Amino acid sequence: MVNIIQSAGGVVYYIADDKEPRYLLIKRYAISKKIERVAPKWKIESGESIEDAALREISEEAGIPINSMKLGAKLWVTELRSDESHKWQLNKDTTYFLVEYTWDPDLVSIEDGGWFTGVYMRATISQVINLIYYQDIRELFRKAYHLLQNRNHTNKVKKDFMQKLD
C-alpha cells in the first residue's frame, strides 16, 4: 500500500497600487540542489483541518502572521506520484487555497537556512509564469489570477449597478 502525504498551502497575493495582484513565491532548494520558486505548502498535522494547515504552513514558511491572511477559495489539488525508478520516493496530495495578504508586503522576509533561500514577493502573473519550472504550479497561479480578475470584474459591475440605483 502506498502512503500518500496530505499537504496544504496557498497562492498568497496582495493587491498593488496599480490594482493588479502581486504574488508571493518561496525560493527553496530542490532535491537536485537547484533553486526553485514555489507556492508555500507542506504537511497537514494530525487532527488539523486543511484550511488551518494551509495558513499555518504559509505562516511558517513565509514568516507571515496568520491574522494578516484571509483564506479564500480552494484552487486546486495536485497529485505527485513517484515510481520505483526515482531516487526520492514521494507520494503527495497538496490542496492549495487562494490567500490574501492584508498587511504591508515589505514586512515579509525569510531567513536563509535549511531548504529555504528567501522569498520573492511582488511578482506579477507574467513574472510568476516565467519563474516557475513546474507546469502544474504555473497553472495554479493562472487559475488564481483569473479568479481574481473575475472577482474584480464582478465587484465593478455591482458597484456600477448600485451607483445607478442611487
* CATH number of the structural domain spanning residue 13: 3.90.79.10
**Contact present, 24 and 15 (Cβ < 8 Å):** no
d(CA 107, CA 118): 13
Please enumerate, as own/partner, the contacts of 48-53 that have beta carbons within 8 Å and a separation of 24 or more. Answer: 50/6, 50/8, 50/95, 51/8, 51/97, 53/7, 53/8
**Contact present, 1 and 88 (Cβ < 8 Å):** no
For the cut 60, the answer to whether the pLDDT of residue 53 exceeds it is: yes
d(CA 64, CA 130): 25
CA angle (11 as vertex; 9, 12 as ends), nearest 5: 105
Considering only CA atoms, give the Rg of the chain.
Answer: 17
Confidence tier at 8 by pLDDT (50, 70, 90): very high
What pLDDT is stored for residue 67 in this prediction? Answer: 95
Q: Is the dihedral of CA 75, 24, 106, 51 positive or negative?
A: positive
Closest to 134 (Cα-Cα) out of 25, 51, 61, 50: 25
User: Residue 124 is placed in which grid cell?
Assistant: 506579477
* Segments forming the whole domain that contains residue 45: 5-165
Confidence tier at 62 by pLDDT (50, 70, 90): confident
pTM for the structure as a whole? 0.82
d(CA 149, CA 113): 36
pLDDT single digits (tens) 109-132: 666 555 566 666 678 999 999 999
Q: How many domains does the chain have?
A: 1
